[in-house]
Each structure stands twice: as C-alpha cells, then as structure tokens.
Amino acid sequence: MLEFFRRKRRRATPSTESWMGRCIGTATPDELEHAQRLLTACHDTAPFAEPGEDEYELWRAGKLVPFYLTELLNAGGHFGPEVDTACLAEEPAVDRWEVGVEYPSWEQTVALARFLDVRVRDLAHPDAEPRHHEVRPRLKMSGLAILSFEPSAVAAATPAGHDDHPAV
C-alpha cells in the first residue's frame, strides 16, 4: 500500500541526452565525417599577426568555428565581461559566438585573435560551413562541440560583396 502513494521522482531539468542522441543518430555518414574532420584538425596556433586577405576571406565565407573559439578561450582561462570588452563587443556577445547564433564582425574577429594571441586562421577551418540547426543550444554546454554558425548570423555580419573589404 505504501508503494501506491509514493510519488515518482522527476528530474528538475530535462535531459539533453534525448535530443543530442537524436541529432547524432540522424547525421549522414558524410556529416559525421565532416564533423570528425573539424574536430581532429588540431592545428598548432601561431602568435597573432595582422591578418591578410586570405584570412578576411575565411571570415567572410563563414569559416569561423565556434568550437575553436571556445577551446582557445578555455585554454587561456578567459571568461566573463572582460573578454567581450577586449573583443569590442558587449556581453553576452562572445557567449553567443560560442554557440554559433551570432557571428563576430571582422573587427571583433581580429580583436579576438589579438586577445588570444593567435592568427585569425586559427579560429577558422576551410571546410567549415554555416549550417542551420533546429536544436542549437542557447548556452554553452560542456562536452558539446559546436562546429558551425547559423547562416543568418553570418549573413547579418558579413558584407555581400568584395567591395566592402576593410583595409587589412
């Protein structure tokens, strides 16, 4: 009789395992290979140098990788509003970059690279492509590698043509 009246325990917050598992389960073999390529493209970073035309083109094409930004910020122990200020942004812009829902401007990208003491190309991968994700998290989640920016975020931050190129 005691069992009849006992309430079942509920989780305080919903589990993310179900939607993350669903996302992984629906990825095509090509998408999985693409993700593996981005995750294992461990590259040695070099100290900051003023970016050139090739790095501007990587940025303009939406080739920045949110996961790379997160990893470099974490490796340096950088967090909080000071990071946003150093990157010429207002909080929570850098957090939004890390989940791929906002794309940094060219000036902010250069400021981020300077702050991290890496080249702009160290924040990008030539195979990265902006991609829309129905279940993109709004906040960083431990253990989740976000490999692309939303196409709308890239379009909002980048010029349509080459004529708008700032001096590099």
pTM for this model (two decimals): 0.76
Residues 104-121 as b or e (16 or more Cβ within 10 Å = b): bbbebbbbbbbbbebbbb
Per residue in 18-73, pLDDT tens? 334 444 456 678 767 766 666 666 567 889 999 999 999 999 999 999 999 998 99
Q: How confident is the model at residue 128 (pLDDT cuts 50, 70, 90)?
A: confident
Report pLDDT for 40. 65
pLDDT at 15 over 50: no
Cβ-proximal residues to 121 (8 Å cutoff; 6+ apart), any chain: 51, 54, 55, 58
Instruction: Map out the domains of the chain as residue ranges.
Output: 52-158
| Domain 52-158 sits in CATH 1.10.260 | yes
pLDDT at 127 over 70: yes
